[in-house]
Structure 1
Amino acid sequence: MEVQNDGKCCVPDCDSTGHLSGKFDSHSTLNMCPIYHNLTGDDCRQRYGRRVQRRQDRSDANRRELRQKAANSPNTKEDRCAALIENRRKEMQKDVLTVSPSKAQSPNKAHKQKTSSREPDLKGLTPIFDMDMFREAQARAAELIQEQLAAEQEVKRAGIGLVEMGRYEMTVWYSSPYPEEYQCLPKLYICEFCLKYTNSPLILKRHLHKCVRRYPPGDEIYRKGNISFFEVDGETNKQFCQNLCLLAKLFLDHKTLYFDVEPFLFYIMTEADAEGCHIVGYFSKEKQSFLAYNVSCILTLPPYQRQGFGRMLIDFSYLLTKTEGKVGSPEKPLSDLGLISYRSYWKQVILEYLSSYEGKDISIKNVSSQTGINAYDIVSTLQSMGMLKYWKGKHLVLTQKEILDEFRVKLKKRKNPKLIDPKCLHWTPKTK
């Protein structure tokens, strides 16, 4: 198939309008060019109209046949076949009569007009019925090729559709700025340990035989059971963190950080087995945040979502904040999924605090210092639960017994919750 780089037909004097199938308005290859096949765009459109009409007639004939069969028609199968053949013969005669006599050429003249940019004129060299069937097959093939090209272009516009990483295949949610040669791939193959991306399973297989990494390139600062957290410096391990950001962008709409990773620390949660430490999710935070953000970006990979790992990531970020003796808040704006996760976490932590609180007066400042949650986030969460009232210039927390009792019941019903154990953290905040 000959295709021009600019998407234009390579046949001389052709402006790429018309299509051999008659179904489309333009073409880009020689195989679909009406001029190459010694036709015009109008000829192809008329042929397409007749093909559509014949399909409709055949469909109507099949329906009539079914009705006759249901009515116990005496016609035999041979009679019906003969009738269909006769109808087809009449259609062919009608098509022959519509051809202008001026277009007919002798075989010798047709052979003399062979050129490298035209198909040989086959009129007069074969029976009309065979010629018509050949043209119909050509048109159908051109139609299928055009539909295939359109589908390929759609894939290129849509970008990467799937990601294979370890034992999981994940459907992509958003586009990510991978190099241009990877953008048109239907599936991207990623090493789950070093996050190197490849364009084929064979290349990935060869890489895995050479890849020596089995855990993130950082300091392990937490381990309990098979769950670990690694602290990775974006300045020290720039390539790994850039690949992590590219992967995260496939599942995060609001993420804007791709290559400028040096000012950030990345905290990666993994699940260990005999093969190594598999990445579950991560969050990043600025080394120096003037707005006291304790999370810049947070993601749980799709295979691990709705299993409690997202809450563990959030809880771990606040454990680091409390270890630093600060209060924190995630960077705004949050994605829709992120807002739901954080609201659920804030609600649970605040209700846990209130259900065990024994004093009379509750101070939002004290709640903030004990939980590490920013006061603004506490106020907005209490307001959403209807547990905050503004009276005489002060916010009053309403400890509604019904809400707390319902929470205690749900807490008792929880089975094997995934929790962060502060005793398993081995980490010292970095000094300025």
Structure 2
Amino acid sequence: MSLVFPHTFVPWFRSVAPYIHAHRGKTFVVAIAGELIAAGKLATFAQDLAIIHATGIKLVLIHGFRPQVEEQLTAKGHASRFSHGMRVTDAVALDCAQEAAGQLRYEIEAAFSQGLPNTPMAHSQIRLLSGNFITARPVGIVDGVDFQHTGFVRRIDAMSVRRAIDFGSIVLMSPFGFSPTGEAFNLSMEDVATSTAIALQADKLIFVTEVRGVPMDPSQANDPECEIDQELALADAEKLLGALPNPVQPTDTAFYLQHAVKAAKNGVDRVHIIPYSVDGSILMELFTHDGVGTMIVDEKLESLREATPDDIGGILQLIEPFERDGTLVKRSRTEIERDVGHYTVIEHDGIIFGCAALYPYPEAKTAEMAALTVSPEVQGQGDGERILKRVEQRARAMGLDSIFVLTTRTMHWFIKRGFQQVDPDWLPEARKRKYNWDRRSKVLVKRLG
């Protein structure tokens, strides 16, 4: 029997709970590269999707099959042909694609139909539903190249897909479509996923791929240690895409980025590019602050702003652990409700990760910065300094000459940022009367030059 340690489990579960609440009832389109299945990761990925589905998220799953089609073609001694980053699908390639798609659908359905034994989702009953949801059109002839049975998505039957996920099924779609005359077309997983997400106006489109995300330096895209851009505003993603060469391989930076930009421009709230090589990557992307890949959004999700009454609950949840261990002086909900206008907060996707209050003493041309708090999840990433700078801006706008803090444990952090220790007698008279001599807090002042 495994042991549960409350001192680690409870804070972890509390940190995950806001994401569970935020995602419940939302629609996510998840697109998996065929390489994930070829790497033998389908079983654990099905388990992770079952967990996500159990939290009340509506799922559409779309699989790719590039390596599987290559395997079929090799077995038949038939060479692959590509142009403009797309496969030229002749009669043999079409036959191989159909065989690969059928085999993969069988494997995926089997992974979800066995009750997921010996996993956290044992005995779960998950219905996968497939159908002819995609109407396709041919690519045709481009620059003299006849793509034959390669196609693009013409239309997604969004009403039928929506009806299925609303009734609790996971919809499974293969990158195949048919014309109104019944002709079959080989499609790309990325095109199907993007078109489906747009048609459903999905809350998220998630590409689970052979790449780690969008590298900060595209020239280092092939470096497994390159730094990944965790969040890209749509405008920045478009600018980056415009500076990149047309993609040829799925590992090219622009390959998934072009589809992410298209989806974000057409109403999909969030688009994620994450690696299948990291175990549980989709869980970490959805239920942790930083995730593991790149997220493209129409606007930056993180905002540094003044607090509103809607933030009171988030502020209380953030500061409560620090009040409990004595780092902060305890404040009642009534006090925070009364003073919420004094607070500055850092919010990320609806969750408060940092805050500080500014209490002015105009007669002394100074103000107290109190309750400076940053969530343990994001400490060390500069959020404390960003809040401090915003508070300093607010104090300068009030015409004040300085700000001060009272602290028992974080004196060195403030000293490194320009604060100097003074005697408690320096405090404004109104604040000196409330000074707790038993707590013996250090008084630190920063001049606002």
TM range (shorter): under 0.3
Higher helix share: 1
Instruction: Kindly indicate whether structure 1 or structure 2 has the higher relative contact order, using CA contacts under 8 Å at least 6 residues apart.
Output: 2
When the two structures are superposed, what TM-score results if normalisation uses the length of structure 1? 0.25
Give me the TM-score of the superposition, normalised by structure 2: 0.25
More strand by share: 2
